[in-house]
Chains A and B, each alone.
Chain A
Amino acid sequence: MTTSISTTAAARKSPLHKYWVILSTRTQEDMAYRANYVFGAIFRFLPLVTMIFLWFAVYAGRGMAPINGMTFKDMIVYNTLMYIARGFSSVPGTMSDISKDIKDGQLNRYLIKPMDYFGYQVMYRLAHKLVFWYIALLTFPFVFWFMSLSGHYFTHWPSFWEWLSFIVSLAIAFCIGIQFCFVIGTLAFWFLEISTFLFVVMMLEFFMSGQLIPLNILPQAMHRVLFLSPFGYEGYWPCMILMGKVPQDQLLPVLGRGLLWTGIFYGIVRMMWKAGLKRYSAVGG
């Protein structure tokens, strides 16, 4: 007669159950401080106000002529949609948390548990995003509704394929966002002090994802590199897809490159983790 070695209820559940528990606990933890999120969700739109009037002044100065095919309204819609894209691709604190875990030897706590640290981080950040979107769904529609009412900024109604591609591109945005953070964070296995480096990387990401300025109005010479880089998927491409600025026959190639980058990053994540663990000294320092 065989008896099961596992006796606790948790162990009998699916091997993925633990990730569900992480997700659920982390979500509850964040929900305890809802007010914090509500303030964030409301006030994060303030820069948009400056953005609208500043770009209006710029366009007014040139007789409202479009810049590289971007009209004034396009510019505003782009910056508004960027909030949605960043709501998926930005995972603040991930890079520094991971590098801190490695540097301080805190990683031990996770290594002895029968779970994957990368999986843990994904679930942890996904929980943040869930709470973020739970709150955002109360404020974002209002902002979009207000904007379409006040300025009729949204002139393009996306087709079915554009909606679908947009949703896929948001998933890509999250995958690239978190995997990139993980890759940079695990550099802490090799380098003790990487905070400057983290900062430079984050600035580059900020710029190359098109958050500062839409990539297509930057000097032509930079387009080729910027359009092929993985960072565009963290902001530029989701926005452009929903704005109908990506021709229908280009949707698949654009998404395909994004998925390719997701795969490449996954490979790098696994490689870095494996190589890094060999160097890991498991002590603080």
Chain B
Amino acid sequence: MADFKKYLRLTALMMKNCLVREMQFKANFLVRLFTEMMWLVMQFIYIGVMYGQTGQIAGWTLWEMVVLAGTNYVISQLFEALFYDNCMRLIDQIRQGDLDFNLVKPINTQFLVSLRYTDYASIVNSSVGIGVVLFALGKLGIGVTAGGMVLFAALVANSILIYYSILFILSVWTFWIGRSNNLMELYWQFGQFSRYPGEIYPWLLRRLLQTLIPMLIVSNVPAGVLIHKLQGGLILYGFTLGAVFLALTAWIWQAGLKHYRSASS
């Protein structure tokens, strides 16, 4: 328990430290807000062009698709806010031998390197995603109960952890292969799969995206809860998957550390 408090206090400290840094460069903060928003607009143009050609895509109407896109945006923004930068930094730290500084600190190193930096612009951006989701739900005429809201929030948190686990495992690969920036591209490439309904994929691929590379679980399940478009078992399955993936990160991290050379390459 004392440990838990210590980690909680540290997290708060690191986040405060980042907020102070962030506020020193306010212009940069606004830039990030703006640029991320442009991506969202681009995605809506894409969706708009597609729905200009047909009324439904794999059984999903326009506004259902917008709920999905908005949910996915919220999740990816929150993930990028908390973990993305840290994973990118981890790669450089491993490659250049800078991990030493973190290894000597009297704290769980995985915790430290995973949560060290917070990107506040992405947190603000995620609220835009929430606005989009609410707007689309309004268009669909769907109300959300308090229970539904809590479940949605829990599923979003779970999805963020799944994203984190995948990206963390990819970054830890650096221990073995030396430079893996292109591997990190996988995040963006995998991300593609989560933007659209699972129904568009054939059976085998869809199962793959629900298990080994659970990109359909991270977006389709939380969005499905909102628009009542979900088979019940998937919720429980999603949470289980999150736990398994998180456990996997700790194991791979330990294995990777054995390969750490503490030297630049």
Residues of A near any B CB (own CB < 8 A)? 33, 35-37, 39-40, 43-44, 46-47, 49-50, 53-54, 56-59, 61-62, 67, 193, 195-196, 199-200, 203, 206-207, 212-213, 217-218
Known: A53-B202, A199-B35. A40 touches B53 (CB 8 A): no
In whole Å, how far is A257's beta carbon from the nearest beta carbon of chain B?
25
In whole Å, how far is A203's beta carbon from the nearest beta carbon of chain B?
5
Contact between chains at A203 and B38 (CB < 8 Å):
yes
Contact between chains at B190 and A61 (CB < 8 Å):
no
Least CB separation from B30: chain A residue = A196
In whole Å, how far is B95's beta carbon from the nearest beta carbon of chain A?
10
Least CB separation from B188: chain A residue = A47
Contact of A212 among B46, B53, B179 (CB under 8 A): B46
Known: A62-B53, A62-B54, A213-B46. A46 touches B179 (CB 8 A): no
Contact between chains at A199 and B205 (CB < 8 Å):
no
Residues of B within 8 A of A203 (CB): 38-39, 42
Q: How far is the CA of A200 from the CA of B179 in the complex (A)?
A: 29
Known: A58-B50, A58-B53, A196-B31. A43 touches B180 (CB 8 A): no
Contact between chains at A53 and B201 (CB < 8 Å):
yes
Least CB separation from B189: chain A residue = A46
Least CB separation from A214: chain B residue = B49
B192-200, B219-227, B238-246: which lies at the interface: B192-200
Q: How far is the CA of A67 from the CA of B51 in the complex (A)?
A: 12
Contact between chains at B38 and A58 (CB < 8 Å):
no
Interface presence of B264 (CB below 8 A):
no
Contact between chains at B200 and A54 (CB < 8 Å):
yes
Contact between chains at B202 and A217 (CB < 8 Å):
no
Contact between chains at B201 and A217 (CB < 8 Å):
no
Residues of B within 8 A of A54 (CB): 50, 57, 196, 200
We find that the number of chain B residues with CB closer than 8 angstroms to chain A is 38
Contact between chains at A50 and B53 (CB < 8 Å):
no
Q: How far is the CA of A212 from the CA of B42 in the complex (A)?
A: 9
Taken residue by residue from 175 to 191, chain B's Cβ proximity to chain A (1 for < 8 Å, 0 otherwise) reads as 00111111101100110
Least CB separation from A42: chain B residue = B182
Residues of B near any A CB (own CB < 8 A)? 27-28, 31, 34-35, 38-39, 42, 45-46, 49-50, 53-58, 177-183, 185-186, 189-190, 192-193, 195-196, 199-202, 205
Residues of A within 8 A of B178 (CB): 33, 35
Contact between chains at B49 and A213 (CB < 8 Å):
yes
Supply 5 A–B pairs (Cβ within 8 Å), ascending by A: A35-B177, A46-B192, A57-B58, A62-B54, A200-B38
In whole Å, how far is A220's beta carbon from the nearest beta carbon of chain B?
12
Q: How far is the CA of A138 from the CA of B54 in the complex (A)?
A: 38
Q: How far is the CA of A44 from the CA of B195 in the complex (A)?
A: 17
Residues of A within 8 A of B27 (CB): 193
Contact between chains at B54 and A207 (CB < 8 Å):
no
Contact between chains at A50 and B185 (CB < 8 Å):
no
Give 5 nearest A-B pairs by CB, closest first.
A61-B54, A40-B182, A46-B189, A57-B58, A196-B31
Q: How far is the CA of A49 from the CA of B206 in the complex (A)?
A: 12
Contact between chains at A47 and B181 (CB < 8 Å):
no
Contact between chains at B192 and A47 (CB < 8 Å):
yes
Q: How far is the CA of A51 from the CA of B70 in the complex (A)?
A: 19
Known: A47-B192, A61-B57. A35 touches B46 (CB 8 A): no
Q: How far is the CA of A53 from the CA of B202 in the complex (A)?
A: 8
Contact between chains at B201 and A37 (CB < 8 Å):
no
Contact of A67 among B53, B58, B185 (CB under 8 A): B53
In whole Å, how far is A175's beta carbon from the nearest beta carbon of chain B?
26
Least CB separation from A206: chain B residue = B42
Q: How far is the CA of A193 from the CA of B27 in the complex (A)?
A: 9
Q: How far is the CA of A56 from the CA of B202 in the complex (A)?
A: 11
Contact between chains at A57 and B200 (CB < 8 Å):
yes
Residues of A within 8 A of B179 (CB): 33, 35-36
Q: How far is the CA of A53 from the CA of B27 in the complex (A)?
A: 40
Q: How far is the CA of A216 from the CA of B75 in the complex (A)?
A: 33
Known: A36-B182, A207-B42. A57 touches B57 (CB 8 A): yes
Q: How far is the CA of A49 from the CA of B191 in the complex (A)?
A: 12
Residues of B within 8 A of A196 (CB): 31, 34-35
Q: How far is the CA of A170 from the CA of B57 in the complex (A)?
A: 34
Q: How far is the CA of A67 from the CA of B46 in the complex (A)?
A: 15
Least CB separation from B38: chain A residue = A203
Contact of A53 among B50, B183, B190, B200 (CB under 8 A): B200
Sample of 19 further A-B pairs with CB below 8 A, known A200-B38, A207-B42? A33-B178, A36-B177, A39-B183, A43-B186, A46-B190, A50-B192, A50-B200, A53-B202, A54-B57, A54-B200, A56-B200, A57-B57, A58-B50, A59-B54, A61-B55, A193-B27, A196-B34, A199-B31, A199-B34
Residues of B within 8 A of A212 (CB): 42, 45-46
Contact between chains at A43 and B38 (CB < 8 Å):
no
Contact between chains at A37 and B38 (CB < 8 Å):
no
Q: How far is the CA of A220 from the CA of B50 in the complex (A)?
A: 16
Residues of A within 8 A of B38 (CB): 199-200, 203
Contact of A217 among B49, B183, B189, B193 (CB under 8 A): B49
Contact between chains at A49 and B205 (CB < 8 Å):
yes
